[in-house]
Amino acid sequence: MVTFGATPIGGSDPGSFKIATDGCSRQPLAPNSHCEIGVEFAPLAGASGTQSATLSLSYTCGAHPGNASANLSA
C-alpha cells in the first residue's frame, strides 16, 4: 500500500496555479487503484508571460519514502 503526503505547489510561479480537487493527499492507495489531483491555472492580477510551477507529491511505500512531481506551465 502507498500512502501520500501533502501536495504543495512550488517553483517560480506557484500563485498562478491552484489545486481544484485532491483525492490523493494524506490518503492510502490500495494496489491496482488510483487517485486524482486537479490543478487550475489561476494567474495573479498583472501576471504576464508564461507562468510555471511544480506540483509535488510525497509518498511512502512500506518503509520506502519517495517523491513524484509534475511540471505546470500555461
What are the tens digits of pLDDT across the range 8-21?
999 999 999 999 99
Query: What pLDDT was estimated at residue 65?
Result: 95
Q: Which amino acid type is present at position 48?
A: S
Number of domains in the chain: 1
Q: How many other C-beta atoms can be found within 10 angstroms of the C-beta atom of residue 58? A: 16
pLDDT of residue 45: 86
pLDDT at position 1: 87
Instruction: Give the predicted TM-score (pTM) of the model.
Output: 0.82
Q: How distant, in Å, are the alpha carbons of 45, 52, 54, 62, 63 from that of 70?
A: 24, 11, 6, 23, 24
By residue range, what is the domain housing residue 20?
A: 2-43+52-73
Point out the residues of the chain with pLDDT beneath 70. Answer: none
Exposure pattern of 28-39 as b/e (b: 16+ CB <10 Å)? ebeeeeeeebeb
